[in-house]
Structure 1
């Protein structure tokens, strides 16, 4: 567990939504009064992209959820990436000027909260990751 002073937030968010401790950050993102839904960008059964906002500091985030159906064991793999974005980037997503598939490029030089729950795992692995990431639709 890292510090909770927010020293690695790179100018984004507060000590709750971008807490160094992933358990603190995840709890804030899952709390209805923590990070709130703002706009749905894409809502398919296996691919959900939305803009969310921290209730404490108003930091905008793009949340990308992808699920891959496990037709054999019925343990669908689920992946979620939560990336802090600027208000202008949030506006571009909502207006359609920025595609959901392009948000991974915004990760360059930014830290994002990653939750990986592959098929067969008993619980997700949650960690901070930096850099560009791929965005793909599930199936």
Structure 2
């Protein structure tokens, strides 16, 4: 589905990677917004929704499709004017420390920067780069994890 999938701690919504553009408006497939709308992204990798958004509900609303550069120094500046923004570099990715909380996905999971504990339940464990992932399960009846959590 199009629209919000989470919110950053500064209140800016996060959208999924799709941009609501599809062949003849059929909605069978949608374009990758990060790739196709990159020229319209600002220095924080955000932009306002186009005027023809889904149902017109998102028209003009500022949002992100990816990790905003304003939270990190790890991004590539999109133009020379980006160096003028005081919001950039709110944190610097440190491979020796857990990254800060950036926001929450609507399924309740926290969104962090790129480094986290090797064992999420043990803050004394080592630090490693967090990798986005999912796990499939070979089940037909849910006997554990009733709310869909992993």
Q: TM-score range by the shorter chain?
A: 0.3 to 0.5
Q: Structure 2-normalised TM-score?
A: 0.31
Higher strand share: 1
Q: Determine which structure has greater relative contact order: mean sequence separation of CA pairs < 8 Å that are 6+ residues apart, divided by chain length.
A: 1
Which has more radius of gyration?
2
Q: Structure 1-normalised TM-score?
A: 0.32
